[in-house]
Structure 1
Amino acid sequence: MAHGGGNKAIIAALSANLGIAVTKFIAFLLTQSSSMLAESVHSVADSGNQVLLLLGGKRARRAADEQHPFGYGRERYMYAFIVSIVLFSLGGLFALYEAWHKFSDPHPIESWQWVPIVVLVAAIVMESFSFRTAIVEANHVRGEQGWVSYIRTAKAPELPVVLLEDLGALVGLVLALFGVSMTLVTHDGRWDAVGSAAIGVLLVLIAIVLAMETKSLLLGESATRKDVDAVKAALVGPGVPSVIHLRTLHLGPEELLVAAKIEVPAASTAADVADAIDAAEQRVRAAVPIARVIYLEPDLRHAVAGG
């Protein structure tokens, strides 16, 4: 993924969430609606998350140094993992607490009854714009993949995070609208608590999915099957009859480490082997541009086969 596309989606989400958070909080102050408070905190958490993603992207662009010779690309994964923690704690757990508090002491919405409906509808419109931007940017990079497959296999975390956050925000707004509407119709504040609880459960589930996917990236994922096949095919050429074994590792979303043991002819001179390795590296970088760190070990096929 081009990081610029990810930043565009993040900035669109941040702009929407900041405006939404302010209007939701004003609506809560006027109505004391539990669902509105849960949604206010949700939008604040989302805004903080988008700032974290932008910060992670900036820090990941630092040049490699002696202490971190492979660079800082994985900072993007770390900040995405922090986002899942924030969403779980500040968003999901707070909404569940607020639901418990409101259910134990329910109050109907007695003043400014039209405010939460107007705010929620306006928020749905703004959030839909943010979600649409994320979908458009994701469509540029996901190819023929389905959405679930894209979320699970994407190496760049920003767009999947924004997509899940925006989807959660839209569903959460619908749940809040349901809770507030039922409270206004029935004059029973427990419906407001139900809406808040549903938002909390939704955010906790999304946070768990994000944590699982970003944890895998933090541990270190190999290249996609398509890129692995392309690297293997590119390695074979003049002076390299075959690939004995191959390992790949993402140092960051757009930086791949390639380590391979390659077969060289038994009669090759040291100069022949060096030329073959240089040519193989050039072929790999041409086939898979993100393969920026390449280590190739020459060996004889029969020696390996013989143990």
Structure 2
Amino acid sequence: MSRHADAAPHSTGTPDRHPGKDTEDARTAVTVFVALGANLVIALAKLAGGLFAGSPALLSEAAHSVADSLNELFLLASLKRSNRAPDSRHPFGYGKERYFWSLLAAVGIFVMGGCFSFFQGIEALRSDHSETRTGYLVGLAVLAVALVAECSSLIRALVQVRGQARGSGRSMREAVRAADDPALRTVLAEDSTACFGVLVAMAGMGLHMITGEVRWEAWASMIIGALLVFVAYQLAKESRGQIIGEAADPALRRALRRFLEEQPEIDTVTTLLTMRLGTRSTLVAARTDLVGGLDSEEVEEVLVRLKSAIRAQWPIADQVFLDVTDASPNDRERARRERRQLDETVAAGREEPGTRQQEDAE
């Protein structure tokens, strides 16, 4: 049998459009706009209240809201730029733009939110500031309004996640963990952190007012800073892995491998490699050993049919490469070992973020 290596992907050269994904992107954009509007109003209110009350915790929360507002602009840019059509310089499209801008958002949270909060807390410990009762009440009132606004934005994001959970048959917790869109994941992290941070700031300011000890607000400010640093690290870690190149989730990889192994023309799938190119695009590259007796035209027909079938069943797998090779005994043993490991991973429920990726794309 003559062997043929096919290196051409199954791609149209235009953006991979999925009506479901486009609708979800529009919902995410609305969620981000809601968060942006809330954060801009809250930032101004916190800044004015913090300057009036001389509250380090309130000023830390103002810095947090400013950082969140800038991050929302980054996320809006990511939604627009990631949908550009492939070109000669970026033949696989611009899907990873979302991961890059999400990384910048994480850096913004770390620098403008976390570091400034630590600075405010340390400065408060060095001073012996005391405010009038009116100043404290103004600060607490501003924080109460901020809490309502932040919770409203968080509820909007959770409603979107709940809709995704219903569509994929998952619980809310599973949907939050599997959030594939970095923009939505960042908004969720920002809003939930902001709600908790406001409560910490209110506690610190209230204790300062009751005891007269500024250290309560100082520690509240540093707790907010530590929380923001942790959230920024987690978001940056996710974005880093996605920019470098992450494999598709185990459930999708197992489904693709099983599909190929079930084909009568394939004897062994020696290697299956995947990489997420964005929220709606995944590269699939497989080396297969075909059964004997096929001529070159039959091999070509099999490869074309399999690529079309993969693309039809898993629209997110829009870049498909199939290579025909002779499998050695070592290749076959490695393939069996990888298959067992993949089955164990899926069975144990250790799916990476983005599990059921193929379901969400359909």
Which residue pairs with 2:259 in the alignment? 234
Q: Is the 8 A contact 1:36 1:116 kept in 2?
A: yes
After TM superposition, the structure 1 stretch with the greater mean CA deviation from structure 2, 89-98 or 16-25, is 16-25
What is the alpha-carbon distance in structure 2 between the residues aligned to residue 95 and residue 17 of structure 1?
17
Q: Following the alignment from structure 1 to structure 2, what is the Cα–Cα distance between the partners of residues 55 and 260?
A: 34
Relative distance call for 1:264 and 1:181 in structure 2 (3 A) is same
Distance in 1 separating the partners of 2:188 and 2:332: 48
SS at match of 1:112: helix
2:25 corresponding residue in structure 1: 3
- What residue is the counterpart of 2:338 in the other structure? none
Letter paired with 2:136: Q
Distance 1:40 1:116 in 2: 12
Once the two structures are TM-superposed, the CA of residue 146 in structure 1 deviates from its matched residue by: 6.9
- Indicate which of 187, 207, 210 corresponds to 2:235: 210
Evaluate the alpha carbon distance shift between residue 197 and residue 148 of structure 1 in structure 2; reply closer, same or farther with a 3 A threshold.
farther
Whether 1:260 aligns to 2:282 is no
Write the distance in 1 (CA, Å) between the matches of 2:34 and 2:117.
Answer: 24
Structure 1 residue 302: deviation in Å? 6.3
CA RMSD of aligned residues (A): 2.2
Q: Which residue of 2 aligns with 1:193?
A: 218
Q: Aligned pair in 2 of structure 1 residues 70, 222: CA closer, same or farther (>3 Å)?
A: same
For structure 1, the residue ranges without an aligned partner over 5 or more in a row are none
Name the structure 2 match of 1:248: 274
Distance 2:33 2:256 in 1: 35
Instruction: Give, in angstroms, the shift of residue 222 of structure 1.
Output: 0.7
Aligned counterparts of 1:255 and 1:92: Cα–Cα separation in 2: 34
Bigger relative contact order (CA 8 A; separation at least 6):
2
Residue 97 of structure 1 corresponds to 119
**Aligned equivalent of 2:141, options 118, 139, 147:** 118
Aligned length: 306
- Secondary structure of 2:140's aligned partner: helix
Give secondary structure in 2 for the equivalent of 1:84.
Answer: helix
Q: 2:351 aligns to what? A: none
Q: Which amino acid aligns with 2:201?
A: A
Q: Assess if the C-alpha contact under 8 Å between 1:61 and 1:72 holds in 2.
A: yes
Tell me which amino acid in the other structure corresponds to 2:293. Answer: A
- TM-score, normalised relative to structure 2: 0.79
CA contact (8 A) 2:282 2:316 kept: yes
Report percent identity of matched pairs: 31
Q: Which amino acid aligns with 2:85?
A: A
Distance 1:285 1:248 in 2: 14
CA distance in 1, matches of 2:158, 2:70: 21
- 1:188-231 residue CA offsets vs partner (Å, 9 max, x unmatched): 22222122111111111111111112111111111111111222
Q: Quick one: structure 1 residues 150 and 228, their matched pair in 2 at CA, closer, same or farther if it must change by over 3 Å?
A: farther
- Give the match's secondary structure for 1:294: strand
**Structure 1 position 171 matched with structure 2 position 196:** yes
Give per-residue Cα distances to partners, 1:49-103, cap 9 Å, x unaligned.
0110111221112222222221111111111111111111110000100111111
Q: Would you say the 8 A contact 1:234–1:280 is kept in 2?
A: no
Q: Deviations over 1:258-300 (max 9, x none)?
A: 0001232221111111111111112211221100100001234
Equivalent-residue separation in structure 2 for 1:218 and 1:280 (angstroms): 29
Structure 2: stretches of 5+ with no match in the other structure = 1-20, 334-362
Q: Within 2, Cα distance between the matches of 1:145 and 1:223? A: 21
Q: CA, structure 1 residues 283+145, in 2 after alignment: closer, same or farther (shift >3 Å)? A: farther
- Distance in structure 1 (CA, Å) of the matches to 2:141 and 2:47: 13
